[in-house]
Amino acid sequence: MPVPLNMRMSKRRTIKNNSIMKTTKRFDNTVMKLYKAFHNGYLKFEFSCACAVGNICNNSMTWRGAINYYGALNLDGYKGKTKKCIDQTGYSVYELATIEQIFMFEAFGLEEEKEKQYQGLCKVIEYLCELDGLENVMDYTSLFEYKEGVKELVI
């Protein structure tokens, strides 16, 4: 059975052991959209075109026919243009609903808007890694690994 295009692996060099981490095309495309949105000020809570799922859906509001701002599903609305919009992301309607829930609620209660966006984004990326069976690219703890008695940088 051929591997779907959105699940084919691509290679990215990581800091950890200067190794090559394989990621999926779907993951790379999604993270790039979210990265650009975050740094260009176009990642916003409760804006259909600019929230996590809105950015994944190419800044379209069409996805809202099946998923509300808080990730609740309306499967009656999962048809026509809404279905096409969601399906072309490579994620299921359930996965996108979960992404929206994570983004909205992970940073709930934080005061500063950019910090809320960052914390929500980090958790979404962790979930995207989980979906594609990847190591968590947000885990930087390996940068602080050391060997007892060795006084050199371990990478």
The answer to whether residue 5 sits within a structural domain is no
Per-position b or e across 26-46, b if 16+ CB within 10 A of its CB: bbeebbebbeebbeeeebbbe
Average pLDDT (102-130) is 88
Which of 88, 109, 104, 12 lies closest to 51 in space, CA to CA?
Answer: 104
Q: How many domains does the chain have?
A: 1
What percent of the chain is predicted at pLDDT more than 70? Answer: 77
Range of the domain at 41: 24-144
Specify the pLDDT at position 99: 95
Is 80 exceeded by the pLDDT of residue 12? Answer: no
The answer to whether residue 1 sits within a structural domain is no
Inter-axis angle of helices 25-39 and 113-131, to 10 degrees? 180
The answer to whether residue 116 sits within a structural domain is yes
Specify the pLDDT at position 57: 95
pLDDT 10s digits, 64-76 = 899 987 788 988 9
